[in-house]
Structure 1
Amino acid sequence: MDIEKRIERLQERLTYIRDIFGSKENANIKLLGSRLDEFMGREKSLEATERVRLVTQLEDLFAFLEKKLEAELTPMDRVRIVRHPQRICLKDILENVYDNYTEIGGQDECSIDPSMLIARAYFTRRVGNKVINQPVMVIGQEKGHGQEFRNGGSVKPWGNAKAQHYMQVAEVENIPIHTFVFTPGAFPVEDYPGAAQQIAKNLYEMAGLRVPMVAVFSEGGSGGAEAIALADKRLMLSHGYYSVISPEGGAAIEGRTRQGQRVPPELIEETARKLKLTADDCFRQGYVDRIIPEPPLGARCDHYEFYKSLRNELINATNQVVLNVRGMKLFRAMALNRRKNAPENLDAESIFVRWTLSAGAREHLVWKRWQKFRKLSQHAYLDKRTFKAKVTAKGQEMAWALHSFFRYDFLGKHHKKWRRMVEELGAEAQFVKNKVSSPFKMIQERFAPAVELVDSEAKKSLTELSNPEEGIVLNGHGWSYASPRCREDRTVTCPNAATHGCLDQWAPDLFGEYAGVCAYCGHHFPMEYQWYVNNVFDQGSIFEFNREIESGNPLEYEGLDQKLEQAKKKTGLKSACTTFEARIEGKNVVVAMLVGAFRGGTVGAAEGEKFIQAVERADKKHYPLLAYVHGTAGIRIQEGTNGVIQMPRCTMAVRRYIERGGLYLVLYDTNSYAGPLASFLGCSPYQFSVRSANIGFAGPGVIKETTGTDMPPDYHRADKALSHGHIQGIWDRREVRKNLNQALLTMGGRNLYYR
């Protein structure tokens, strides 16, 4: 390499190191700077051989001190590494890891979304005397090296839609999918499709993809990462991070920083540490399967040895996924399993596995994927059930499963065949009977005397005006539960008074008879979750289960234990999700309710586990499932990846339930935002909202910080969500019971099941 280029490279390395460590004082960085400045000051007076010798010494010094600095990296330093423009990007990987590729779905600026890059690539393998090309579909966020049009890897909804489309193409072609997560988070817009709407679709699709999937994490920011990361093998670069929220965002919430205020750097550093977002943290918690070692201070575009290592890891990971569901694998599987904890010692080219799967293997792959995610985060919640209670619950589940098998699968199939045959024979007999009897009916109608079809009293009631004083009792709706606010002797002003001319209303009327609905404009004031529990479902029909599963503090996040105890004491609940069986007009239903009064209805490991168990209960008992969202602020940030992993886990459970014939309804109320909406709630085919609810991926403040754009006041209103197809209807609170009953009848049918 030319001496000038070597010097320029050293200057770039020093700039990079200073960027990573920010304003922190560090003796090693000062030493590197002083030595380089000293050399630059006397460079021109040196002879060529002396310059080469000193540059070589400097390169050795940089390599030595970079290794020392590597040991000093904090979690926030690692975040700065993955955000740096010199960080490897997806195009670098395509150029150096795969043997050939073609970019599809648009290129650079001429793409529906330049932040999402799709390529058809292949590995070339030599097997004996043959050369075999093994194709893969590569999907990932592309940040580039400071290219502004890439939007920093923050993908818009249509970019995620593009990814979903090519995932389906890969499934049709029966080729593996490699995804690369390089995103700080999804771009929070609510056009069609909205950000939450599309991420939910992606997760639902990935849950059932019947081809091997391998995901590689570099920068994994919340829902934007999950949009392409539900994979059979999840690898993570050693300097990467995977988090429910950015450290800056978490620090702003922790410090209650107002919009426009700067968050102290010390608080950001501390939040990054508490979130446990590094590769080691994620591996220890079980959310990634393997860490891929990088060069000191992170992989950059000219680290060619790293590309060889990454290629090796990708091939081995894909081989493992395929061999786990294939036959004829004994010796190859033994070799992989023996070295699975050290794949860097296993030459990827030495083991050949054909990556196409048979129909049976593809179905087994989806099952294995579900089993993998079902086991995650089991350590992250509190289960205070006694051993006897757990055994009893397991016994009940087995009994339900056995009953379901015999009633619906074994006997049900034969019953359906018999019923269809009887219906067909009955229809044929009825047709013949009508044909034979039609001449006799004609003769009878011609000679029979006219008969009054409607008696005089009935005709009178149908044709005359009614008397309102007879038989009418104006006693309101007769709610069995009224809000405690109805006992307040005061008037309440509607938020729409200035625009709609609403008059002030007396609290006993508004929160009693009117159920919190403005009598003038229909605005819905927030109501307690108990109002729905007592007024929507049949009296005495509610049976709560899994109450003993409690929210915990798996990251030992400072201050969270006290906040959880306060929430438990205030609400009488043990988590933000309460699950129960109930009846509506005699129809059985399983309900999972997110309660806004408990920590904003945020979802963590306990809430996710309770939701999944509710889905499984509805499946085993062949009941419809209702997710009622009294309010949710998203994923609980203090649980970090333990919370964000609930997005794919719960979505997979929902997909299995729906595919097995379940009827899944979602009803939103008050404020419903972020991760739950972008996953297991947003994937329902039947979503409805109570009037005046707010529905969206991110709140107005987050959108302002992310995009710099002020959102109109009605941006997240239910009617907007209805207009772009996120929800299918808007209901008045006073008619929720009636509308749910109608939905169960019309969408579920007689057996209240989809099929």
Structure 2
Amino acid sequence: MDIEKKLDGLLKRVGYAQDILGDKEDRRLTAFSRKLETFLDKNINLGLEELWDKLNTLDESLAVLEKDINISLTPMDKVRIVRHSERICLKDILENVYDNYTEVGGKDDMSIDPGMVIARAYVTRRIGKKVHNQPVMVVGQEKGHGQEFRNGGSIKPWGNANALRYMKVAARENIPIHTYVFTPGSYPIEDYPGAAQQIAENIYEMSGLEVPVISVISEGGSGGAEAIAMADKRIMLSHGYYSVISPEGAAAIEGRIKGGERAPTELIESCAKHQCITAYDNLKFGYVDGVIEEPPLGARPDHFDFFKELRSEVIRATDEVVLSVKGLRFFRGAAIKNRKKADNGSESVFVRWSINSSAKERLLWKRYKKYRRMSQHAYADKRTFLEKINSAKVDAMAAAYSTIRYDLIRKYQTKILRLAEEAKDEIHVVTNKVDQFKQVAAEKIGLASKSSQEVEFELTKLSEDVEEQQPPADYRHYVSPRASEDREVTCPNADTHGCLEIWARDLFDEFAGVCPTCGHHFPMEYRWYIANLFDWGTVREFNKSICSGNPTGFPNYQERLDAAKAKTGLQSGCITFEAKIKHTRVTCATLAAPFRGGSVGAAEGEKFVRALELAGKKRYPFLAYVHGTAGIRIQEGTNGLIQMPRCTLAVRRYIESGGLYIVLYDTNSYAGPVASFLGCSPYQYAVRSSRIGFAGPGVIKETTGLEIPPDYHSAYNALSRGHIQDIWDRRDIRRNLHQAFLTVGGRNLYYR
């Protein structure tokens, strides 16, 4: 019986290896499988001891073969490893890495989201004669061993909300958070609160958690991973992957595959390779801090030595984060940093994981600096030396001016104003008496003075609008090129609303792209907004020479980038500038749809962060105008994906310092940017007829099999679930933005 069990185990290992290789056939595995299948028949006359010896020899041979195959694994092979049903899961980690745990959420199919498992766990460490039980909050996706109700680790919005809730509990209790990423991506649902909306909140709140956060990534799929992966230390399993989109999804986009068709295997393999999704790719780029080596062909539940190594690395990472913000850390820090993996140094050196208030401030600052340094290699900075010097000078002058005006003078401003008002009131008493004497004297000598009716009229008449700066007579605001077309345009609502045909010249010029019958908004160029929203002559673009690049060396992508630059005249999909709206100074970042669909890569993220930093230094409000965005640029891989937490950290830093951050959506806005640095704004508005969501209709149908209604991503649906605060008519945007700048904001309304 034991012989058959051993033989069955070897057959399963061979079958597992064949699953990992997919459609590729390995002749050695095929031959080994046949040898195992005929083993008992060929050795029927052997004794039990001889059978065991032969089986042990086969076991050793298979182990050597597994190591040989392991060396030549492709990125797509590793994707198949993390998707395999025999892959370790979060439940295995809880059982084998932590000494005790209690689940507090996501136990079964009646929970908020059973795919998100949350547990209060303990790490027990013996130091000398004393035993220390160190608490930790463990959060992660559970794919389960064949448990279908877990939805394959694809988390719904309320699952991410539950995870955030308990991470905040950990912050209140001052205990570390360990997150484990086992997700192919979030479930693309827009029911309240909506996938993008909740992921954005998770990233924003996690960036401000005042406790150490350690993240371990096995399968990191896009925004679903980022919902719990914002961490001070990020570790990847050597056979894991971390990507902006699945290789199949990337291949479908690259190959322009239509619904129902399947991308060629060669294209899928190519996308997996060139997106640089493996652990060592991400380590090279600097998006993870370390890699934990797995057994050949990936860790499985019976690899107990791997769990010991994982435990050691997680404890060491937590110790390092805590010591990096604590005092009196030199000897312990050196001992942990220089230890050999075999000596179990993380267990022998004790570090208390609770931190005080000053250490918490240092923790948040180090977290910001960590993400700020990321992806610096992934874009091209074509500014000249003089341009860089001038940019640094502007930043320094803005910082100095703001420090003097707002940090120094403002401290005494209230006292000075109070004294001035008191003095003015005293003087007013004297001047009032003098005015009365002058009026009596004038009446005595017969000089005319204003009648009471004239005085009353001046006090009660309506105030006059201050005329705005007008452009020269020969200047003309930007007009859409479509206004020169001599044709009639049919409104898409003509069948239901009875809209009449509209002459293109009127529609795209006088009517500002708005149907005069039903109010449907036709898309307009981003140049139209820049010309018509801001005061004439006040737009000043900066960082124009920061250019999109091809950091992963994706095939044929540089040519497409060059074509987009030549066609649009832009160097990236983000335009950053300063301007005025009715004399209110603002800093603006625009995602322009004509450049690669307004997708975000390293250059766009860098420009967005720099614009936020400049707005913070100058104490200007910040406007993010989304002319359109298709999400994160898949050809840049994690160089684009990392912009989600990176830009969100910059947004939080700006808002927490008192800045006013407003987002305005237009046309189609989807995926990563909406699920991070755009969706986290407390003030979000949309132009009528725009569409907002986490995933487009095609992606939803492909991943869930659901047919969504036509208005699923409409701005009105986003308004009904609280994602945006209002819907604006295009013709009223300028007035509404000015009104918003006057009435909403943070602690410091700098621009007033």
Task: Tell me whether the two structures share a fold, i.e. TM-score over 0.5.
Answer: yes
Contact 1:214 1:234 in 2 (8 A): yes
Q: Aligned partners of 2:23, 2:551: CA distance in 1, in Å?
A: 32
* Aligned twin of 1:262: 262
Instruction: Provide the secondary structure at the position in 2 that maps to 1:349.
Output: helix
* Counterpart among 488, 495, 498 of residue 491 in structure 1: 488
* Counterpart among 535, 539, 559 of residue 536 in structure 2: 539
Aligned pairs for 1:315-464 (under 5 A) are: 315-339=315-339, 343=341, 345-416=343-414, 418-419=416-417
Q: Aligned partners of 1:493, 1:88: CA distance in 2, in Å?
A: 57
Instruction: Provide the secondary structure at the position in 2 that maps to 1:228.
Output: helix
* Aligned twin of 1:530: 527
The question of 1:294 aligning with 2:294 is answered yes
* Aligned twin of 1:612: 609
Contact 2:592 2:626 in 1 (8 A): yes
Q: Aligned partners of 1:237, 1:265: CA distance in 2, in Å?
A: 25
1:31 CA drift (Å): 2.7
Aligned pairs for 1:43-82 (under 5 A) are: 45-82=45-82
1:223 CA drift (Å): 0.4
TM-score (norm 2): 0.92
In the superposition, relative to structure 1, how do residues 732 and 43 fare at CA in structure 2: closer, same or farther (>3 Å)? farther
Q: Aligned partners of 1:420, 1:373: CA distance in 2, in Å?
A: 44
* Aligned twin of 1:253: 253
Deviation per CA, 1:672-700: give whole Å up to 9, x if none. 00000000000000000000000000000
Q: Aligned partners of 2:309, 2:747: CA distance in 1, in Å?
A: 58
In the superposition, relative to structure 1, how do residues 45 and 204 fare at CA in structure 2: closer, same or farther (>3 Å)? same
TM-score (norm 1): 0.92
In the superposition, relative to structure 1, how do residues 423 and 51 fare at CA in structure 2: closer, same or farther (>3 Å)? farther
The question of 1:207 aligning with 2:204 is answered no
Contact 2:221 2:243 in 1 (8 A): yes
Deviation per CA, 1:541-597: give whole Å up to 9, x if none. 000000000000001111111111111111111000000000000010000000000
* Aligned twin of 1:160: 160
Q: Aligned partners of 2:652, 2:80: CA distance in 1, in Å?
A: 37
Instruction: Provide the secondary structure at the position in 2 that maps to 1:225.
Output: helix
1:750 CA drift (Å): 12
* Aligned twin of 1:88: 88
1:395 CA drift (Å): 2.2
* Aligned twin of 1:583: 580
In the superposition, relative to structure 1, how do residues 734 and 43 fare at CA in structure 2: closer, same or farther (>3 Å)? farther
Q: Aligned partners of 1:309, 1:423: CA distance in 2, in Å?
A: 70
Letter in 2 for 1:364: R
Q: Aligned partners of 2:425, 2:675: CA distance in 1, in Å?
A: 47
* Structure 1 unmatched runs, 5+: 431-448, 462-477
Determine what percentage of the aligned residue pairs are the same residue: 62
Aligned pairs for 1:697-712 (under 5 A) are: 697-712=694-709
Q: Aligned partners of 2:454, 2:59: CA distance in 1, in Å?
A: 108
Deviation per CA, 1:172-208: give whole Å up to 9, x if none. 0000000000000000001111000000000000111
Deviation per CA, 1:449-502: give whole Å up to 9, x if none. 9979987xx99x9xxxxxxxxxxxxxxxx9822211111110000111111111
* Aligned twin of 1:147: 147
Contact 1:492 1:504 in 2 (8 A): yes
Q: Aligned partners of 2:424, 2:712: CA distance in 1, in Å?
A: 55
In the superposition, relative to structure 1, how do residues 380 and 343 fare at CA in structure 2: closer, same or farther (>3 Å)? farther
In the superposition, relative to structure 1, how do residues 79 and 425 fare at CA in structure 2: closer, same or farther (>3 Å)? farther
* Aligned twin of 2:21: 21
* Aligned twin of 1:101: 101
CA RMSD for the aligned pairs? 2.4
Structure 1 stretch displaced more, 384-393 or 658-667: 384-393
Q: Aligned partners of 1:420, 1:13: CA distance in 2, in Å?
A: 82
Aligned pairs for 1:674-753 (under 5 A) are: 674-748=671-745, 752-753=749-750
1:129 CA drift (Å): 1.3
Q: Aligned partners of 2:291, 2:83: CA distance in 1, in Å?
A: 19
* Aligned twin of 2:654: 657
Q: Aligned partners of 1:558, 1:221: CA distance in 2, in Å?
A: 22
Q: Aligned partners of 2:540, 2:43: CA distance in 1, in Å?
A: 82
Q: Aligned partners of 2:519, 2:720: CA distance in 1, in Å?
A: 19
Q: Aligned partners of 2:400, 2:371: CA distance in 1, in Å?
A: 24
* Structure 2 unmatched runs, 5+: 429-450, 463-474
In the superposition, relative to structure 1, how do residues 130 and 14 fare at CA in structure 2: closer, same or farther (>3 Å)? same
Letter in 2 for 1:383: D
In the superposition, relative to structure 1, how do residues 422 and 318 fare at CA in structure 2: closer, same or farther (>3 Å)? farther
1:38 CA drift (Å): 2.4
Contact 1:747 1:754 in 2 (8 A): no
* Aligned twin of 1:282: 282
In the superposition, relative to structure 1, how do residues 267 and 345 fare at CA in structure 2: closer, same or farther (>3 Å)? farther
* Aligned twin of 1:648: 645
Instruction: Provide the secondary structure at the position in 2 that maps to 1:73.
Output: coil
In the superposition, relative to structure 1, how do residues 336 and 505 fare at CA in structure 2: closer, same or farther (>3 Å)? same
Contact 1:248 1:263 in 2 (8 A): yes
* Aligned twin of 2:445: none
Letter in 2 for 1:79: V
Deviation per CA, 1:485-535: give whole Å up to 9, x if none. 111110000111111111111000111100000111111111000000000
Deviation per CA, 1:83-133: give whole Å up to 9, x if none. 001000000000000000000024122310011110000110111211110
* Aligned twin of 2:432: none
Deviation per CA, 1:409-442: give whole Å up to 9, x if none. 1221222455478789999999xxxxxxxxxxxx
* Aligned twin of 1:670: 667
In the superposition, relative to structure 1, how do residues 138 and 344 fare at CA in structure 2: closer, same or farther (>3 Å)? farther
Letter in 1 for 2:555: E
Contact 1:125 1:131 in 2 (8 A): yes
Contact 1:196 1:696 in 2 (8 A): yes
